[in-house]
Amino acid sequence: LYVPDNEGYLLLKQAMKNGEPIVVMLKRVNQNFRSATGYITGLSSDYPDQGEATVSITIDIDGEWTDVMV
């Protein structure tokens, strides 16, 4: 999961709270990007003192993954 800034994280929290779908992009080595629509069912974060912040997310994918040309 890549969230570039706090605004993006807040939008994810809002989508989960409101039951709104999000678009998920997946990239693997030597493969095209793939996308799917999904719903966030779990989102947690940890900000330890003197440590790295981490975010965990659970997404239920709704439908099929499709190839995307980027």
Each residue's pLDDT, cut to its tens digit, for the chain (70 residues) gives 777 788 988 999 999 999 999 999 988 888 789 999 999 999 988 888 888 878 889 999 998 999 988 7
pLDDT score at 65: 93
- Convert 9-47 to b/e letters by CB count within 10 Å (16 or more is b): beebeebbeeeeeeebeeeeeeeeeeebebebeebeeee
Kindly tell me the number of DSSP H helices and DSSP E strands found in the chain.
1, 4
Name the CA radius of gyration of the chain, rounded: 14
Assigned token pair, 54: 């981490």
CA 24 distance to own-chain centroid: 6
